[in-house]
Amino acid sequence: MAKYLLLKHYRGAPAAVNDVPMDQWTPEEVSAHVKYMQDFAARLESTGEYVDGQALSPEGTFVRYDGEGRPPVTDGPFAETKDLIAGWMVIDVDTYERALELAAELSAAPGAGGKPIHEWLEVRPFLTEPPTITE
């Protein structure tokens, strides 16, 4: 089994087919989307393929070290120019093809008008330990 991170980008990925921003959805559309995500996670939990997942708030700051005794450096107040990750899910599956299959299914979560979003999801494998070399 291999773990994969499925990243749901709100900004920074190619545009979805149903590209209406979530803040323009009705409360019923948001509820249907959340229910789809919960049902998807529950189904994967029952097969042992679900590890974890979370929705993320749009607030976030890039930060870096700026030297001993100096305060951290942050990226400034320009949030609208940054990629925005709306949420993530970690899955543990047998093959890369299965990871792609599940990501594609997750991409069909309903959005505005109850129609599938067809959003682009980023699929990233977890790093594994490097092979041990013996002589």
| 3 state SS for the chain | CEEEEEEEEEECCCCCCCCCCHHHCCHHHHHHHHHHHHHHHHHHHHHCCEEEEEECCCCCCCEECCCCCCCCEECCCCHHHCCEEEEEEEEEECCHHHHHHHHHHHHCCECHHHCECCCCEEEEECCCCCCCCCC
pLDDT of residue 96: 96
pLDDT of residue 105: 96
Q: What's the pLDDT tens digit per position in 1-22?
A: 899 999 988 776 778 888 888 8
Domains, the chain, ordered by start: 2-125 (3.30.70.1060)
Q: What's the pLDDT tens digit per position in 28-87?
A: 999 999 999 999 999 999 999 999 999 888 777 788 899 999 999 887 655 565 677 889
Could you tell me the pLDDT band of residue 114, with boundaries at 50, 70 and 90?
A: very high
pLDDT of residue 84: 78
* Cβ neighbours, 10 Å, residue 7: 19
| 23 vs 5, higher pLDDT | 5
The sign of the CA dihedral 58, 13, 54, 43 is positive
